[in-house]
Amino acid sequence: MEHLAQILLLLSVAIAIVVTFQRLHIPTSLGYLLVGVVLGPYTMGPVVSMPELHTLAEFGVVFLLFTIGLNYSIPELNALRGQILGLGTGQVAFTTLAAGTVVWLAGLPVAAAFVFGAVFAQSSTTIISSLLTEQGEENSQHGRLGLAMSVFQDVTAVPFLVIIPVLGMSVAADVLATTVAWALAKAVLAFVLVFFAGRWLLGPLFHLVSRRRSLETFTLAILLVALFAAWTTNSLGLSLAFGGFLAGMMLGETEFRHQVEASVSPFRDVLLGLFFIGIGMRFDPASIPPIWQWTVLGALLILISKTLVVALMVRRTTADKRVAWRTGLVLSVGGEFGLALIAIALDSGVLSIQLGQVAITSVLLSMVAGAVLIRFNGQIVNRLVKKSDTEVQSSGSLKDVPERLVIIGGYGRVGHTLAVLLHSCGIPFVAVDSDAGRVAQGRADGHQVFFGNITEPGLLTAIHVERASLVVITIDDAAAALATLSYLRRVCPQVPVIVRARDLESSTRLQDAGAIHAYPEMIEASLRLGASALQILKVPDDEIDQTVRGVRDWGYQPVLEKDRNKS
């Protein structure tokens, strides 16, 4: 209990600062960094000093890479081998080369210059996505391209997790090259081991666990898989985070992927918060005056190199100069993953404390300045590039709007029927169900069905419910459906929701809560039966439709009044 007071202090300061940053719409990662600075050894006031905290914080990067791996399974990486794969890989490679060459010419050793280049190549997906959404640019061509490239940076940066620790070894160049080659060979071996283990073991394991209908057991299984993979790669002399990424890739191919992401996100966010707090504790404000000019130049190198590299690369794939430059500005911001690489480089001895301070401060400055560039990317490009008539027309094209999905909550009798109808009409959809047997049957039918509970906010976040064109809740649980509907109306009121209702009372409550339709299935079944009877009796179809519509428009009162009269 010796550290209890420090833990309480840490939690109190973190909550106060993070809540303030959220109210100001500032990325919370910057808030955690500030917490570390405030409670670090280099500032006045109380100091939190717990070695266990830094050990625990290492797992924040493990689970960050784990969730990234979930979204980049092998089939999806194969599907992205076109434009985004080429642009994402090229951007990281060319920015690393350009920035690394500049700092090498400034007098840094080759290993340190390589780390600076790798760090400067990263962009903050958190800042990019939040600002683009706030500005309504998330569906624009430059917004979608920039966000996709920023996410893909995390994948292309995975080799850095293998190479950077090796660079800290004081050996000759030929020995270092051999060591790097051996590290990459071990990375391939780790991939093969995790790949075959995932194919043979992960599916049966999670099918077994999911049948227990226990979220606690499911979460324990996720922790076991992620940490076992991290231990495997660490045993091979590689980073823990690399193992987390491989485990995520394997689980990303299964039907449990969205529920896994929803279950692990609380651990990831808390541990990542601890990681950024640890980074902040390494930051010494007093060291800035002697090196301020280098930090400013470093931030400018991040902003300029990425803007130019991205703009030139995108320009080769599109005729719209404005899209190219706006994408470059969007990706100019520094990234949290760059801070993770700095931490690894410091622990490996590749960077000295002073160089680490320069790198950290440069990234932080670029995150602040880059956020301003993203905010005003349209106005900046308007001043730099004259908009042609063809570009005016293409900027408002419907092609900029991505294809949206229908989300089905529950794959029972009603959900399956709806899926069949949508599939026959060529309408894309994703269904989730908490019954592993139904999920397996749905996937056998060729439908996109995943394991998960539609009532969990974490799952709805994982499947990006805010991007859906329609949500249909088909679960036979009025209270759960109402809770899900209330959450959806709060988080994404723009998404229409249709809900299954068993009776008129449930239908009324659901419509009052915001459902655009909540047909009571008992009465609807009677109406369909009556409509069929009228068709057999040769009543005109338009008259049948008008009669049925009239009953619905009157809130089924004609049917209910007749039922009451009979009773």
- Average pLDDT in the 370-393 region? 73
Neighbours of 413 (CB within 10 A): 10
Residues 6+ away with beta carbon under 8 Å from 79: none
Of 276, 270, 351, give the one whose Cα is nearest residue 39: 276
What pLDDT is recorded for position 295?
A: 92
The span from the CA of 298 to the CA of 286, in Å, is 18
User: Is residue 456 scored above 80 in pLDDT?
Assistant: yes
| 470, β-bridge pairs | 406
What are the structure tokens assigned to 325, written together?
A: 């430059």
User: Is residue 210 scored above 70 in pLDDT?
Assistant: yes
Neighbours of 510 (CB within 10 A): 25
User: Is residue 122 scored above 70 in pLDDT?
Assistant: yes
| 408, β-bridge pairs | 431, 472
Residues 6+ away with beta carbon under 8 Å from 39: 9, 10, 13, 45, 46, 47, 48, 277, 281
What pLDDT is recorded for position 79?
A: 59
What pLDDT is recorded for position 511?
A: 84
The DSSP secondary structure of 159-187, one letter per residue, reads: HHHHHHHHHTS---HHHHHHHHHHHHHHH
Strand-pair category, 429-433 with 449-451:
parallel
- Tokens 């974490």 belong to residue: 458
Side chain identity at residue 69, one-letter code = G
User: Is residue 362 scored above 90 in pLDDT?
Assistant: yes
Burial 328-366 (b: 16+ CB within 10 A, else e): bbbbbbbbbbbbbbbbbbbebebbeeebbbbbbbbbbbb
| Widest CA span in the chain | 96
- Residue 392's pLDDT band (cuts 50, 70, 90): very low
What pLDDT is recorded for position 552?
A: 65
pLDDT digits (tens, 9 = 90+) for 513-539: 888 888 777 677 777 777 788 788 788
**The dihedral sign for the CA sequence 119, 121, 126, 130:** positive
| 449, β-bridge pairs | 431
- Residue 390's pLDDT band (cuts 50, 70, 90): very low
User: Is residue 38 scored above 50 in pLDDT?
Assistant: yes
Helix H or strand E segment including 558? helix 557-566
Helix H or strand E segment including 97? helix 83-105
What pLDDT is recorded for position 304?
A: 94
The span from the CA of 461 to the CA of 216, in Å, is 20
Percent of the chain with pLDDT over 90: 15
Burial 247-264 (b: 16+ CB within 10 A, else e): bbbbbbbbbbbbbbbbbb
- Average pLDDT in the 549-559 region? 62
- Average pLDDT in the 434-447 region? 87
- For residues 490 and 468, is the Cβ–Cβ distance under 8 A? no
CATH dotted code for 406-519: 3.40.50.720
The span from the CA of 260 to the CA of 196, in Å, is 20
Q: Which residue has the higher pLDDT, 50 or 120?
A: 120
Neighbours of 169 (CB within 10 A): 14
Domain edges within the chain: 55-384, 406-519
Of 164, 131, 165, give the one whose Cα is nearest residue 146: 131
Neighbours of 85 (CB within 10 A): 16
What pLDDT is recorded for position 78?
A: 63
- Residue 399's pLDDT band (cuts 50, 70, 90): very low
What pLDDT is recorded for position 477?
A: 84
- CATH for 55-384 (3.40.50.300, 3.40.50.720, 1.10.490.10, 1.20.1530.20): 1.20.1530.20
What are the structure tokens assigned to 382, written together?
A: 């308007």
Residues 6+ away with beta carbon under 8 Å from 169: 176, 179
Percent of the chain with pLDDT over 70: 86
The span from the CA of 160 to the CA of 126, in Å, is 21
User: Is residue 174 scored above 60 in pLDDT?
Assistant: no
Strand-pair category, 406-409 with 470-473:
parallel
The span from the CA of 301 to the CA of 108, in Å, is 15
Q: Which of 256-260, 332-336, 393-397, 465-469 has the least mean pLDDT?
A: 393-397
Burial 113-152 (b: 16+ CB within 10 A, else e): bbbbbbbbbbbbbbbbbbbbeeeebbebbbbbbbbbbbbb
- Tokens 């070894």 belong to residue: 169
User: Is residue 466 scored above 60 in pLDDT?
Assistant: yes
What pLDDT is recorded for position 120?
A: 93
- Tokens 């931030």 belong to residue: 299
What pLDDT is recorded for position 102?
A: 93
Neighbours of 293 (CB within 10 A): 9
Neighbours of 496 (CB within 10 A): 15
What pLDDT is recorded for position 391?
A: 44
- For residues 162 and 242, is the Cβ–Cβ distance under 8 A? yes
What pLDDT is recorded for position 76?
A: 61
- Residue 286's pLDDT band (cuts 50, 70, 90): confident
For Cα atoms 513, 517, 523, give the angle at the middle one, nearest 5 degrees.
110
Helix H or strand E segment including 449? strand 449-451
The span from the CA of 31 to the CA of 15, in Å, is 10
Q: Which residue has the higher pLDDT, 212 or 99?
A: 99
- Average pLDDT in the 123-141 region? 74
Q: Which of 10-14, 23-27, 473-477, 488-492 has the least mean pLDDT?
A: 23-27
For Cα atoms 453, 455, 460, give the angle at the middle one, nearest 5 degrees.
80
- Average pLDDT in the 361-376 region? 88
User: Is residue 564 scored above 50 in pLDDT?
Assistant: no
Q: Which of 38-42, 257-261, 325-329, 450-454 has the least mean pLDDT?
A: 257-261
Query: Same fold for the domain at 55-384 and the one at 406-519?
Result: no
User: Is residue 401 scored above 50 in pLDDT?
Assistant: no
User: Is residue 265 scored above 70 in pLDDT?
Assistant: yes
- Average pLDDT in the 249-266 region? 82
